[in-house]
Structure 1
C-alpha cells in the first residue's frame, strides 16, 4: 500500500510543473543531493590536519593525520572508527589516539553523544549520502526543527490515498465515484484547488536568501545555521552552538575523490576559544565490507598501546574526541 502510494505521489509530482519536487527539504539538503548514489557500505576517509591552538604561542601549529571509517549497516545505523596518526602512512604504528562509536544515531537519541558526533554526522552526510544521523542530531538539539513528515500536506495525501483505493476497486473512471472527479462543481473546484497545492510546506526555518551577489538556501535553527548553494544544494557553511561550544565549518570546493563521488576538498573548522583546524581530504575510498573489513580493522586498533604522554593532547576536543 505504501509503495503504491509513493509511486502515485511521484507520478503526480512529475506531472505537475509546480510540484514540491523543485523545493529542497532539510533532510534532502543534508543528503548531499549533488552526489552520485552510494551503494557500498564502508567508506574510508583520510585527511591531513593542521591545527592552530588558541593558547599556544602565536603562529605555533600542530600537523597530524586522521582516518575515519564509516560503516553504514543500514539506513539508520552508522558505526564510526576514527584514528589519529603522526604520519600519512596511516598504519597502526603511527596511531596516537582513536575512538570507536557504535550506532551514533542511537547514541544521539539516548543523549549520550558529545561534540565529536556532530563532526561524524557531517562526514557521514558527505560520505554516505544519508541524512539520518545529522537530522537526528538537529532534531535532538534544536527545538524548532521540523522533519519532512511534519510538513507534509496530509489533506492532499489522504485524497490520493482515497484515489488509490478507487483505482484498486476496479470501478470505471467515469462512474462518478472517483475522489478526483466529484459530481458537484463546488467539490470539483475544491479538489482542483487542493491538487494545485504543494505536497509539503517549506519549513519556516529554511529560506532562499541573497547574500551579496550569491543566492543561497539558508537554514536557521535554534542552535544551527547552514548555508547551501542555490543550484547544486551543496553545503557551503555551517555554524553550530552545541554542547556549549560554538563551531563554524567552512567547506571548500567539491571534487570527485574517486572519479564518481564528490567530497569537499577542504574543511576549515573554527572552534571558538579553542582553536582553528584546516582539514585537507586526501582520499575517500568505498568498499562493500563483505569480508568484515571494518570489524577486523577495529579489532587491530583496539590492541594498540597508546603513548602514555599523548602527543596530540592540545588538539581541540571536537577532533580529539575527549
Structure 2
C-alpha cells in the first residue's frame, strides 16, 4: 500500500509543480503589474508546496520506507549469492596488540602474525576485523565481551574462553650493550641492574621473573617497544627485555633522534624460554575453525613462507642487526 501511495504521490508532485509554476512563477512577475503582497503570497505557496512534497519524499526514502528496504534487499542479495567473497564471509572482531612489527603492523594493517590469522580463518569462511589496542588494554577489552577473540595470548593471562592450539612462539631475550660486558646467564644475574621490559612482562614471563620484577626497584615497564632500545642506546637502562624479532625490526626501521648512536654493538642474553602464544575465542566453534586453518597452512608450507617473508628469525639464531 505504501509503495502505491509513493508512486502516485511522486506523479502528482510533478503535475503540481508544472501547474503551480504556470500561473505563479516568479519569472511571470514584473514590477508594474504585481504588488509586493503577491510576491509574498506566491513565495509562501512555493514553500508550502515543497515542504509537503519534501515530507512525502522523506517518508518514501527514509528509514523503513520501501526505497530503503529495496536497497537493503539488494545488499543482502549480494552477500547471500557470494558475488563479493569478502562480504560473504562472517566477520570476526579480534583484539591484538598494536605496534609489534614484524608480527603486527598497525600502520599498514599487516604483519606476519596478522597475515597468518587472516589466512587461517579465511580458509574456514571468516573475515578478520582487527581491533588494535595497547598491551594492557587487550585483556580488559576482551573481558568486556564485546569482541570475538584476542591474539598473542599467554596461558598466564588466564582469560575465559576457548584457547586455540599454540600458533606462534615469541622469542623473548635480554639485551645489553656489548661495551658493558655483562655476564647474564640466568634471571638472577639481572639483580642490581636497571631493567626495562615491555608491558605485562612481569605477568607472562613466568614466576621467577615475576618475583624479580616485584622485588627490584630498578625494574620498570614501558608501553612502546621502540622506547626499550632507545633507553638502552641512550644509557638510561642497563638491560632491556623484549622479543628478538621486534628488536630487529625496531633497529632497522625505528625513528630515532640523530644524537642516538644506533650502531652500538648489542649482546643478546637468552635467559627466557620461548613464549608460546595462543588465540582465545568466545565461541568454541570459531576456536576449532582457527585450529584447522593454522594446521592447513602448516601442512601446505604457507605458514613458514609467511614467517620468512617478514624476516622472522628462528630461535636458534642469535643475531641482531648490529651484534650477535
Q: Which has the larger radius of gyration?
A: 2
Please indicate, yes or no, whether the TM-score normalized by the shorter chain is above 0.5: no
- TM-score normalised by length of structure 1: 0.24
- TM-score normalised by length of structure 2: 0.24
Higher strand share: 1
